[in-house]
Amino acid sequence: MNEDFKEILKSHGLKVTNQRIVVLETLSRHKGEHLTPEEIYEIVKKEHPEIGLATIYRTIQLLCQLDLVEKVVLVDGIVRYEMVEKQKGKAHHHHHIVCLDCGNVESFEDDLLENLEDAISKKTGFEIVNHEVKFYGYCNKCKKKHIN
Amino acid sequence: MNEDFKEILKSHGLKVTNQRIVVLETLSRHKGEHLTPEEIYEIVKKEHPEIGLATIYRTIQLLCQLDLVEKVVLVDGIVRYEMVEKQKGKAHHHHHIVCLDCGNVESFEDDLLENLEDAISKKTGFEIVNHEVKFYGYCNKCKKKHIN
DNA sequence: TATGTGAGTGAAAGAAATTTTAATTTATAT
DNA sequence: ATATAAATTAAAATTTCTTTCACTCACATA
């Protein structure tokens, strides 16, 4: 999986640097979480204080372009990143559900909307290539607090 | 409709200031558009150069809290605002379709997802209060360019 | 295995977007 | 009319992200 990454970099004519490996490994150790660039920086800094914030920004941008990492922007406007989990080399479609109280972001899978694209496409004349769904609500923990 | 706004402000214990009226009227004259704070500022400045950018920011935040204006954040991370169009006092649910080429944002109505909330709710344990759907693609104009 | 070259990096400066501060003005209740 | 609390202005500060530039390192080639 680390070797795969090296291959991906090479096949794009990019250099295999320690910084890139460290950032990807960090995100890999935090699968399912949605981290801000600053948070990624703080985690990386513990083991590699020599890696600068600018490199974190450049690297996550690169990882996004390589489709290894996904950028997530919620209504709060805060930019977060999450590791793309691939199955058989293909990333599966997933969406986000956000707790309005604790801010926790969970992912869930969904194929229900694929056929909706056609309908919207006909209606609007757009050629649709992607879609994004976010649900906002209260998670199990916060739901209880919320009632009181 | 202007009077309505004054009433809303008063009923929330807020003062009816010229700046607030100007900002709301400006957004009202640009229904269906999705403007950045800076764009709103530029439009307002033409008629009212004395109104500062900070006031624009504060006012649109206020208008959001009053549910008169909706904040829209796309994957580009740029924050835009649009006037909420109400029918019989109730805002109807709508979503966005974004052209990846020209950046144009269109709104469209949708009630197809209402029942989806229940399904997702059961699946995740979240109490869902809202959802947001964005489609990304190429609009009619750009579609043609895109093929070539 | 040594070496040249350009891609990548780090630190700092720079931008861009938004918020805060503090002095002043204004809406509105009395 | 006047007091006063809220709102505004302009500037400074903050936050978030990007660019610059000198330096370093990965790696293709010899």
Of residues B7 and A115, which shows the higher confidence score? B7
The confidence band for B37, taking pLDDT boundaries of 50, 70 and 90, is very high
Query: Which pLDDT belongs to residue B115?
Result: 73
What secondary structure does DSSP assign to A92-121, as a single string?
A: PPEEEEEETTT--EEEEE--TTHHHHHHHH
Could you tell me which of B114, B90, B97 has the C-alpha nearest to residue B32? B97
Q: Say what the pLDDT of residue B25 is.
A: 96
Report the C-alpha gap between B40 and B29 in whole angstroms.
Answer: 11
pLDDT of residue B147 exceeding 70, the answer is no
Lowest mean pLDDT among A76-85, B30-39, B70-79, B112-121: B112-121
Q: What pLDDT is stored for residue B122 in this prediction?
A: 86
The neighbour count for residue B108, using CB atoms within 10 Å, is 14
**What is the three-class DSSP state of A7?**
helix
- Nucleotides, chain D, CB distance < 7 Å: 6-12, 16-20, 25-28
AA letter at B30? H
Helix A2-11 / helix A18-28 crossing angle, nearest 10 deg: 130
> Is the per-residue pLDDT at B131 higher than 70?
yes
Contacts of residue A35, Cβ cutoff 8 Å, sequence gap at least 6: A27, A43, A80, A81, A82
Give strand pairing partners of A96: A107, A134
pLDDT higher than 70, residue B11: yes
Residue A45: how many other CB atoms lie within 10 Å: 14
Q: Which helix (H) or strand (E) holds B13?
A: none
**Cβ B51 to strand D below 7 Å:** yes
Interchain pair A73, B71: CB under 8 A: no
Q: Which of B27, B14, B22 is nearest to B62 (CA)?
A: B14
Is A148 in CB contact (< 8 Å) with chain B?
Answer: no
- Minimum CA–CA partner of A128 in chain B: B137
- Per residue in B80-124, pLDDT (tens digit) is 999 998 876 666 678 899 998 888 888 887 766 767 788 888 888
- Cα A99–chain centre separation: 17
Domains defined along chain A, listed by start: 1-87 (1.10.10.10), 93-148 (3.30.1490.190)
Q: What is the pTM of this model?
A: 0.87
* Letter string b/e over residues B46-73, b meaning 16 or more CB atoms within 10 A of that residue's CB: eeeeebeeebbeebbebbeebebbbebb
Residue-level pLDDT at A146: 59
Which regions of chain A are under pLDDT 50? none
| A109 touching chain B per CB within 8 A | no
Question: Is the CB of A126 less than 8 angstroms away from the CB of B120?
Answer: no
